[in-house]
Amino acid sequence: MIRKVLTRAAILFTLVLSFAFLASAADATISANGGLRMRSAMSTNSGVILTIPSGATVNVTERGDSWCKVTYSGKTGYVSTRYLVFGAATTSRSGEVRDSLAQKRQVIVNAAVAQLGKPYRSGYNGPYSFDCSGLTQYVYKICGYSIERGPSSQLRSLGVSVSKENLLPGDLVFFRDSRYGSGVATHVGIYVGNGQMIHAPNRNQTVKYTTINSGYYAKYYIGARRVVN
């Protein structure tokens, strides 16, 4: 009799756990301005798998107070719970379009990440070395977009202008330092979220991440253009 009771209790406990796990699976929308980093572990010191664009929908498989395990674009990792909005999965046509654009922007970011560490070389547009606009032209080209060379040409001719506060991953960010020319813009990079861009800085450096919110690049920042819109 005792064994039957224990067996039934164990089955009931298993069912409760299974229901709790299923209940934890849900869709959520990224609310972080500039995107949210998916990490390999529940720590800000862990590696970044990718940056999920703001407004994108992720599938949450494990939900915690501080961290959630999510799946997005075929990748699984951990994100901060505070930047997830539950119960707001996009089901309308406009929501589907928004998700599609977010995925296209992420493709651009992933293509830029793949160039990290490659050397700067004036006049080159890949695939093994780049100058600043050569990098942006190459990344957009392999993602299916044809854009001009030169930071000034890109600033004047591409997409739509966006404010710094409304930047999204994949946007082009522009800078002007008169010491390096008289053009409308003298440098360009690809915004990847969280206040950072990927760019080809100058000779003796390689393609890398750099913040746009402090130091040199905050001082010379002049604007941004959105091609994927």
The answer to whether the beta carbons of residues 212 and 191 sit under 8 Å apart is yes
Catalytic residue among 187, 189, 190, 227: 187
- Residue 144, φ and ψ in degrees, nearest 5: 100, 15
Catalytic residue among 30, 38, 102, 132: 132
Left if phi > 0, otherwise alpha if psi is -120 to 50, otherwise beta: which for 54?
beta
Q: Is 132 a catalytic residue?
A: yes
Note the residue count of the chain. 229
Cα–chain center distance at 128: 23
**Cα separations in angstroms, 163 against 97, 126, 160, 217:** 22, 29, 10, 15
The answer to whether the beta carbons of residues 199 and 189 sit under 8 Å apart is yes
Query: Does residue 169 have a cis bond before it (omega within 30 degrees)?
Result: no
Q: Is 151 a catalytic residue?
A: no
Catalytic residue among 199, 207, 220, 224: 199
Residues with catalytic roles: 132, 187, 199
